[in-house]
Amino acid sequence: MTETFSFNAESLDKVKFELSKYPEDRKQSAVMSMLDIAQRQNGGWLSKSAIEHVASHLEMPYIKVYEIVTFYSMYYTTPVGKYFVQVCTTTPCWLKGSDEVVKACKETISEKQNELSNDGLFSWMEVECLGACVNAPLVQINDDFYEDLNYENTKNVLQSFIDGNPSPIGSQTGRKGSRAEEYVKS
């Protein structure tokens, strides 16, 4: 997380690939994918410098790129932890106990959303639907889903990251796919 930002060689290869999908006069169409590339390179968030670099690369006004960053919920303008935990609290997850998942995050990570944990490993926030309601409640940690959560198994998942041996992604109760819960033990 530095004051200045420019794409490194690996990111630049990804940028070139994304730009190759569009005619030269339509390269601004790659703005969202380029923001994602910049965010991943920058430790999970977009600094002003990163946004400026994307804007410059695409020959777009900074404000246009900034509008995109602040409109979409997948871009972050403040630092996030190495493990960024997004807790779904939409109605299906709430009905299945997402408030207990939030409680586990508050106890393990930080009392407040969008705050780095003391060790810098985590940050968390409540989000709207993650699209896996049948396996509610769930969280997304970086790019992976952890489903069928409750207070205890959420604490276990978070501890597994602290221990350096993350829990397997998916259901934390043994459910396969979206099978009804009564089939979990069979």
Residue 179's pLDDT band (boundaries 50, 70, 90)? confident
Average pLDDT, the chain: 93
Indicate left, alpha or beta for 92 from its phi (over 0: left) and psi (-120 to 50: alpha): alpha
pLDDT of residue 3: 77
Q: Tokens in use for 168?
A: 């397997």
Contacts of 151 (CB under 8 A, 6+ apart): 97, 100, 101, 103, 104
What is the Cα–Cα distance from 41 to 145, expressed in whole angstroms?
21
pLDDT of residue 183: 58
pLDDT of residue 1: 44
Contacts 24+ apart (CB under 8 A), 156-159: 158/85, 158/104, 158/105, 158/108, 158/109, 158/122, 159/108
* Number of CB atoms found within 10 A of residue 4's CB: 9
Q: Using CB atoms within 10 Å of the CB of residue 12, give its burial: 0 to 12 exposed, 13 to 18 middle, 19+ buried.
A: middle
Q: Which of 23-32, 33-42, 125-134 has the lowest mean pLDDT?
A: 125-134
Report pLDDT digits (tens) over 147-159: 999 999 999 999 9
pLDDT of residue 118: 92
Assess whether pLDDT exceeds 90 at residue 182: no
